[in-house]
Amino acid sequence: MQGFPIIVLNFKAYSEAVGEKGVKLAKYAEEVSREYGVSIVVAPPVTMLSRIANSVSIPVFAQHVDPHFPGSWTGSVTVEMIKEAGAAGSLVNHSEKRMILSDISIVVKRLREEKLVSLLCTDTVETTRAGAGLSPDMIAIEPPELIGTGISVSKAKPEIVIGAVDAVKKINPSVHILCGAGISTGEDVGRAIELGTEGVLLASAYVKAKDPKNILSSMAEYALKAWEKTQSSK
């Protein structure tokens, strides 16, 4: 990754993320990353990991990884599998793929051991505080009730974002903090960074957009402006 700010694009299991359509989405992200100098990560479906990792130079994350070592775990996705496929890291505990705390701890540790990046998803200030204690590389706070609504957390619930940022700074300031849920416009991204985050995690606003590259370009532009503003005020 180039650094921060960062935009993480979760492709989920949308039909737009499969096959050549998914590759195009990843390539658009790569183009915007180069044009604006903003770190952009894509998280395609597991069946697309290798193909997309071999098609772009930006980081590619898995959407989920299980807390298992290689062995008799039918249907599981191990850290070794995503690393071999070319992944640079993985989302952990997304609201649509929840995990118990002990498994989260194992996954974060295993990703670290394999030199892969962990992006832990949390839903409240309290779970963010607990998550920071596990020392993931990044945390993204996402109130699940706002996911996919088009109502951004940075506007609808700024107090949650501010609380999460403060909690992480107190518990483990080495953890990078992002936010997600309802992030749909460049303005949403800029506001998130102004609230103290280092970037955003989003999905449908990009994947299902009629002009995804244009949407992402706007987000990158707002992210840079907000980042420069916040950094200059420190």
- Catalytic amino acids? 94, 142
- The tokens 């002009």 sit on which residue? 211
Question: Helices 20-36 and 212-232: crossing angle, nearest 10°?
Answer: 30
- The tokens 């697309």 sit on which residue? 48
Q: Which three-class secondary structure state does DSSP give residue 232?
A: helix
Q: Which three-class secondary structure state does DSSP give residue 234?
A: coil
Question: DSSP string of 151-217?
Answer: --HHHH-HHHHHHHHHHHHHH-TTSEEEEESS--SHHHHHHHHHTT-SEEEE-HHHHT-SSHHHHHH
